[in-house]
Chain A
């Protein structure tokens, strides 16, 4: 018997992923700005799905309030840019701000269980949204533009934003990848599979969950930054909307809760659905909600869970697998 991490498939896929990132980096130089904007949206969805999965899939923390950090990232960018900081550094600051705010929130939110945590986070998002609405300098209820980005020529602006989105996505995917491969990763998977059992074996459950919570705070903050950079305008009702949580839940449930590849697959699917049914509209959301509920009930590990189970396929080497050693000839 032998324990193996990399397989032939995951090696190839790892290489293919690196090539893909390099290819994507050239997209703004080749394609039209509207295609670049669409791809930026896809990267934002990937980032959101991966972060929500880090919380729910590995930490067992189902949050309906991650839009709090999306909003902090977006409004943080506008705020810092308004203070005279150049827009792109302001975006980095806003991301850090979202992560910094997630830390004190985690001190108390992580004490809550299941529904208390889910709705507790939702209320926190509502509170932050009300605070933003009360601030005239942030446009109060009517919204605000990131006018400082207008100093760049539109094509360049779209390209910069896309590169930032690509960088954020790669950084957060890599962070989660190395986190899961490190000794910490084994304890995170143990918490995912059985929290009480993990605790009884000496896993510091609270500290691990805090790590995931802050990572997700940073990641969702980064997504918020990208949203304002991509659309140039935000208003509290939409940026703090619980709809973001609905999208995240859909992507992760359909793709595969608690798998590394699943949320990425889910994000691509949601993106495909969104670009096909551009009108959006109620039927589209009915379909989204019903699909999420059906997956939760019937296929809790999502599409990728099925692929993994049936084919034993693992594209990203975050797990361990036991292989029978060939008998010596």
Chain B
């Protein structure tokens, strides 16, 4: 029964990783770049929510909704100032620029909020503590279910957005071939900016869940980035549906690994990631098609 419980908790944990990874997957799918500051943007989103909670005493979920427009604007600005320029400059420049950005964000957070750990758990209401005991060894937490539900809705919604809406078509067209899309009148700059704004918004959602599930501090970002990237790679780079499954596979690997030895949890996820890379090395292909 413990292994069943471990797998179940892994699915809940993995849904959280999938939400974190979603934005990374979108940006890779559309622009073929990996934003090394993605984890730090998630943590920044968590801090934005945290500030609103502190100032107004509102619930974390409501505070998140208020902070979301700010994060979307930030995504636009990020694209127009840093990423757009780096896209033109070759394959390494986006990595270098976003790595620099990552250090800037971490240390600005350090200056603004001190290195203390924070949590949104206390301000999210009863959802953080409620759970159902199914059998003696098996429990389902309300938060786990909520994250899983949100993840499924998020990925499902994105698939619908990409397959059914005009903006989604433009995004797919630009992902397939930006120059050809330009020829038929699609403004790739605008598409890229929207994709980044969407990615930062989902990162902020990941940050919210991070804050509710556990704690965060200014340097939590790199770990979140690694987990998100592992989810993207395990699921297959450029595939959104894959990212959801990849996140869940990573979560299950970690919770099952923890059964072997508590310190083996993160290691098991890393090993799964490296194993997938070995099996599929260099097999990055652009697949941003609907399900």
Using CB atoms and an 8 Å cutoff, list the residues of chain A in contact with chain B. 56, 60, 62, 64, 108, 111-116, 118-120, 122-124, 126-127, 130, 133-134, 242, 245-246, 249, 253, 282-283, 285-286, 288-294, 296-297, 300
Contact = CB atoms under 8 A, between A and B. Distances in A.
User: Secondary structure at chain B's binding surface: helix, strand, loop or mixed?
Assistant: helix
Contact of B226 (A114, A119, A245): A119
B184 interface: no
A260 to B, nearest CB: 19
B117 to A, nearest CB: 16
Given A115-B36, A297-B82, 9 more contacts: A62-B96, A111-B281, A112-B281, A285-B106, A288-B103, A289-B101, A289-B103, A289-B104, A293-B82
A296 B103 contact: no
B42 to A, nearest CB: 16
A108 B277 contact: yes
User: Secondary structure at chain A's binding surface: helix, strand, loop or mixed?
Assistant: helix
Given A115-B34, A293-B104, A297-B89, A246 B99 contact: yes
Interface stretch (B187-195, B207-215, B263-271): B263-271
Given A56-B92, A115-B34, A119-B226, A297 B103 contact: no
Contacts of A246: 99, 103
Contact of B263 (A134, A242, A290, A292): A134
B274 interface: yes
B51 interface: no
Contacts of A293: 82, 96-101, 104
27 contacts: A113-B282, A113-B284, A114-B91, A114-B95, A115-B33, A115-B34, A115-B229, A116-B233, A116-B284, A118-B34, A119-B229, A123-B226, A127-B271, A133-B263, A245-B99, A285-B103, A285-B106, A286-B108, A289-B100, A289-B101, A292-B100, A292-B103, A296-B89, A296-B93, A296-B100, A297-B82, A297-B93
A285 B173 CA distance: 40
A127 B110 contact: no
Interface in B157-205: none
B99 A249 contact: yes
